[in-house]
Amino acid sequence: MATARTSAAARPYHHGSLREALVEAGLSLARTGGPEAVLLRAVSREAVVSHNAAYRHFADHDELLGAVGERCMRNLALLMGTRTDEVRVRQPVKRARAELDAIGRAYIEFAQTEPGWFRTAFAAVKSDQPGDHAQLSAAETPPSAGELNPYQLLSARLDRLVAVGEVPAERRPGAEYSAWSVVHGLSCLLVDGPLRYLPRAEIEVAINTALALVQRGL
Amino acid sequence: MATARTSAAARPYHHGSLREALVEAGLSLARTGGPEAVLLRAVSREAVVSHNAAYRHFADHDELLGAVGERCMRNLALLMGTRTDEVRVRQPVKRARAELDAIGRAYIEFAQTEPGWFRTAFAAVKSDQPGDHAQLSAAETPPSAGELNPYQLLSARLDRLVAVGEVPAERRPGAEYSAWSVVHGLSCLLVDGPLRYLPRAEIEVAINTALALVQRGL
DNA sequence: TGTACATCAGTGAACGCGCGTTCACTGATGTAC
DNA sequence: TGTACATCAGTGAACGCGCGTTCACTGATGTAC
């Protein structure tokens, strides 16, 4: 007998995959509210679980936010991958350029269509350790083979441009910093910053000139 | 006789310039703690005043943060101005390029040496109204003549490059978005983002390649 | 195959914290006459 | 030149809020024998 609590069919006491459910709930909250919305209590509420059940899966709030942030970063990488795959240009040189353009556009598209996730992806980075430089290419993404983070995707496109002869090899070092800065900066200015209320048409101008600058400048 | 309260020489009941004192206190807190540290109570504490005295000068917390943010933005503009004035190149064309480089470097320098102010300058922008596009050039800076905000400083440099024949006129529209994006993006990545722990030497590479990209790409 | 018991995953109540904001107030200032 | 009074700028106590975290607990699971 018992549990006349809700109409929900007797949810088992043990959730089975609460960790994943919590991250999913956090993702949902982050989507509309950004990193500020990924609160331990709010996430537990969303997952319909007592608020300290979370402590069985995460040491503290920071660790939860970190896990959600990683997923946001992965979502960004996924969109970049998708948009790259959609490039239909055949000719190798043109294709290399088009692919670089595509990941740049995808980056900005993600920031604009999923501002909450975008902000969470980068907010969560704050809490991680000094670590070494290798972090960029290695960490932030689980070791599951074949998955690349945004930085790695960009590096690959730049390598390709060199391989194809479109970018002189001596310009390759540091190129990811410049290219990344352009799309990241524009994304921040558009999502959060002073360009937030730019009219739609002007936004298009901004995106196009910014990406053109990258293509010309490399 | 009275006020054996502190050893401080009888502070008058009326402060005289509490508004400015509060902004100054907020600036001091923002410097080390960023916008999160600009709390109504903390600021009042810092100014050694009861925490609701602030309500005589600001409608609410947002307005206070806005005022502090404006000052941060002004500090950024001031550094950009100083660094421009330090340019020693005579030849007009070279000078125009050097000045653009200088304000870009100043922007990144500010973000790195005053990360708290940098973040506050842009965090406070969030709370302002949709407004129109003209906002960018007009608002954010008091009407006191002769003071330009960062965006206006950048525009002026770009205009100069066109005037001097270094940048084709048809490339001028939208150019501030690209240039701004580069320095803003790099600043964010270095201060807050995944490039936070980049070794010093690598940071130099990043700054140099990013600014070179702007110069080549325009 | 059945039972004892350690272990794991969840619950519920409570603590302390510092915030923004409001209320009723008091002390100082300046203006009208 | 002096006094009454409105106005302004500050004070101090209080409210409600939601957070992260801790504590002692209970219900379910799986393993040893």
**Gap from A129 CA to D28 C1', Å:** 38
Give start and end residues of each alpha helix (H) in B86-169. Answer: 92-113, 115-123, 150-163
CA distance B16 to chain A (A): 34
Q: What is the CA radius of gyration of chain A?
A: 21
If one counts every other C-beta atom within 10 angstroms of the C-beta of residue B89, the result is 14
Report the residue from B122, B216, B217 with minimal CB separation from A193: B122
pLDDT tens string B4-18: 333 334 566 667 788
- Work out the percent of chain A whose per-residue pLDDT is above 90: 80
Report the residue from B122, B135, B175 with minimal CB separation from A209: B175
Sign of CA dihedral A191, A158, A175, A207: negative
Instruction: Assess whether B51 (CB) lies less than 7 A from strand C.
Output: yes
* Type of residue found at B62: D
Q: Please give the full DSSP string across B68-99, using - where no structure is assigned.
A: HHHHHHHHHHHHHHHHHHT----SHHHHHHHH
Global pTM value:
0.90
Residue nearest to nucleotide D23 (CA to C1'): A52
Q: Considering only alpha carbons, which residue of chain B is nearest residue A185?
A: B185
**Gap from B54 CA to D7 C1', Å:** 18
For A1-38, give one letter per residue: b (16+ CB within 10 A) or e.
eeeeeeeeeeeeeebeebeebbbbbbbbbbbeebbebb
CA distance B132 to chain A (A): 7
pLDDT tens string A75-123: 999 999 999 999 999 999 999 999 999 999 999 999 999 999 999 999 9
Residue range A139-158: mean pLDDT, rounded: 78
CA distance B62 to chain A (A): 16
- Work out the percent of chain B whose per-residue pLDDT is above 90: 80
Q: Give the residue from B213, B214, B215 with the most A CB atoms within 10 Å of its CB, the best one to mutate.
A: B213
Lowest mean pLDDT across B13-22, B176-185, B196-205: B13-22
Instruction: Assess whether A18 (CB) lies less than 7 A from strand C.
Output: yes
For residue B205, give both structure tokens: 């590479």
Q: For strand C, give the nucleotides within 7 A of a protein CB.
A: 9-13, 18-24, 27-29
A148 touching B (Cβ < 8 Å): no
Residue range B174-190: mean pLDDT, rounded: 97
Q: Can you tell me which residue has the tokens 């000052």?
A: B71
Q: What is the CA radius of gyration of chain B?
A: 21
Q: For strand D, give the nucleotides within 7 A of a protein CB.
A: 9-13, 18-24, 27-29
A113 touching B (Cβ < 8 Å): no
Burial class (CB in 10 A: 0-12, 13-18, 19+), B82: exposed
Give Cβ neighbours of residue B125 (< 8 Å, ≥ 6 apart). Answer: A192, A193, A194, A196, B69, B140
Residue B130 confidence (pLDDT): 59
Query: For chain B, what is the mean pLDDT?
Result: 88
**Gap from A42 CA to C16 C1', Å:** 20
Give start and end residues of each alpha helix (H) in A13-60. Answer: 18-33, 40-46
- Which of A 158-197 lie inside 8 A of B, CB atoms? 173-175, 177-189, 192-197
A107 touching B (Cβ < 8 Å): no
Rounded CA separation A170/A155 (Å): 15
Lowest mean pLDDT across A176-190, B84-98, B131-145: B131-145
Contacts of A206 in chain B (CB under 8 A): 174, 177-178, 181
